[in-house]
Chains A and B, each alone.
Chain A
Amino acid sequence: MIDRDNTRQIVAGAAILGLFLALPLFGFGDYWIYILTIGFYYAIMASSWSLLVGYVGRISFAHMAMSGIGAYTSVVASGSFGLPLILSIPLAGLVTGIFGLAVGRLCLRLHGAYLGLTTIAFSEIVRITITAEHEVTRGSLGLAAVGLFETTDRVPYYYSFLALLVSSLLIMWLVLRSRIGLFFAAIREDEDAAASLGVKVVRWKIFAFTFSSIIAGIAGSFYAHFVQLVTPSMMSLQEMGFVLSMAVVGGFQNIFYAALGGVFLEILLEVLREIGEWRMTLFAVVVILILRYAPNGLFGELMRMALARRTRK
Chain B
Amino acid sequence: MSLVAFSEQVINGLIIGIFYALTALGLSIIFGVLKIVNFAHGELYMLGGYVYYVFASILGLPPIAAVLVVCAVLFLIGMAIEHLLIDPVHRGKVERADEYTIMITFGLAILLQNLMLSIFGPWTKRPEAIFRGRIEIGELIVSGDRLAAAGAGLVLIGFILYLLRYTWTGKAMRAVSQDRETAEIVGVNAKLTGMLAFGLGSALAGAAGALIGPVFLVYPTMGVIPVIKAYVIVVLGGLGSVPGAILGAMILAQVENLATVLIPDTTRALAYKDAYGLVLLVLVLVFRPQGLFGEKVRKS
Contact = CB atoms under 8 A, between A and B. Distances in A.
Interface of A: 53, 57, 59, 106-107, 109-114, 116-118, 120-122, 124-125, 128-129, 131-132, 192, 237-238, 241, 244-245, 248, 276-278, 280-281, 283-285, 287-288, 291-292, 295
Interface range, B side: 35 or more
28 contacts: A57-B98, A106-B282, A111-B299, A113-B98, A116-B102, A117-B281, A124-B228, A124-B275, A125-B275, A128-B278, A129-B275, A132-B268, A132-B272, A132-B275, A241-B106, A241-B110, A244-B106, A248-B103, A277-B117, A280-B117, A281-B114, A281-B115, A284-B107, A284-B111, A284-B114, A287-B103, A288-B108, A291-B100
Contacts of B98: 57, 59, 111-113
| Among all A-B residue pairs, the 10 with the closest Cβ atoms | A284-B111, A132-B271, A113-B37, A280-B114, A112-B98, A284-B110, A287-B107, A281-B114, A121-B278, A277-B118
Nearest to B93: A292
B249 to A, nearest CB: 16
Interface in B243-291: 268, 271-272, 274-275, 278-279, 281-282, 285-286, 289
Interface of B: 36-37, 39, 85, 88, 94-96, 98-104, 106-111, 113-115, 117-118, 224, 228, 231-232, 235, 268, 271-272, 274-275, 278-279, 281-282, 285-286, 289, 299
B163 to A, nearest CB: 25
Contacts of B104: 288, 291-292
B107 A128 contact: no
Contact of B99 (A59, A107, A122): A59
A143 B88 CA distance: 46
B231 A117 contact: yes
Nearest to A275: B118
B265 to A, nearest CB: 10
B108 A112 contact: no
B273 to A, nearest CB: 9
A278 B118 contact: yes
Nearest to B221: A238
A55 to B, nearest CB: 12
Q: Is the interface of B mostly helix, strand, loop or mixed?
A: helix
B286 A116 contact: no
Contacts of A245: 107, 110
Nearest to A295: B95
A12 to B, nearest CB: 25
Nearest to A287: B107
B285 A110 contact: yes
B282 A131 contact: no
Q: Which of A117, A245, A285 has the most CB of B within 10 A?
A: A117
Nearest to B84: A292
A125 B107 contact: no
Nearest to A119: B282
A109 B284 CA distance: 13
Contacts of A53: 99
B271 to A, nearest CB: 4
A292 B104 CA distance: 8
Given A118-B282, A295-B100, 4 more contacts: A57-B99, A110-B289, A112-B102, A284-B115
A248 B117 CA distance: 23
A120 B228 contact: yes
A277 B95 CA distance: 32
Contacts of B117: 277, 280-281
A131 B113 CA distance: 23
A57 B96 contact: yes
Contacts of B109: 241
Nearest to A109: B289
A124 B37 contact: no
B107 A276 contact: no
Contacts of A285: 111
A291 B37 CA distance: 17
